[in-house]
Amino acid sequence: MSSLYIAVSPPIRRGNMRQAIESVFAAVSGDRESDTLRRSGIFAALCVAFGIGAAVGAYATKAIPDLALGLPVVALLIVLLRCEVQRNEQRI
């Protein structure tokens, strides 16, 4: 569990959370000039998406351990092949 916290350093996490809180406060307090509400919404959506993905991954690993690694590998291969096709089409 501790290796998860090593991947993202605490100052980066605190900086992102601080920026999100400041953005929400600025939006709520009436700062309409900047993109603060949009930026905080994007950050919140990323946090929610990460949390949902982590929960689904934990459930899948517990329920279907054989497919828990196979599905992401297949998805990554599909993305890799699509990127290669797009790169080849740009050369033409």
For tokens 């100052």, name the residue.
Answer: 11
pLDDT at 88: 75
* pLDDT of the chain, 92 residues: tens digit per residue: 444 444 555 555 567 777 777 777 777 777 665 666 677 777 778 888 999 989 988 888 899 888 878 888 999 999 999 988 877 777 76
Q: Which helix (H) or strand (E) element contains residue 53?
A: helix 36-63
Q: Are 61 and 68 in contact (CB under 8 A)?
A: yes
Cα(4)–Cα(11) distance, rounded to whole angstroms? 15
- Coil, strand or helix: which one is 32? coil
Percentage of the chain exceeding pLDDT 70: 74
Residue 33 per-residue DSSP state: S
In this prediction, residue 11 carries a pLDDT of 59
Q: What is the Cα gyration radius of the chain?
A: 19
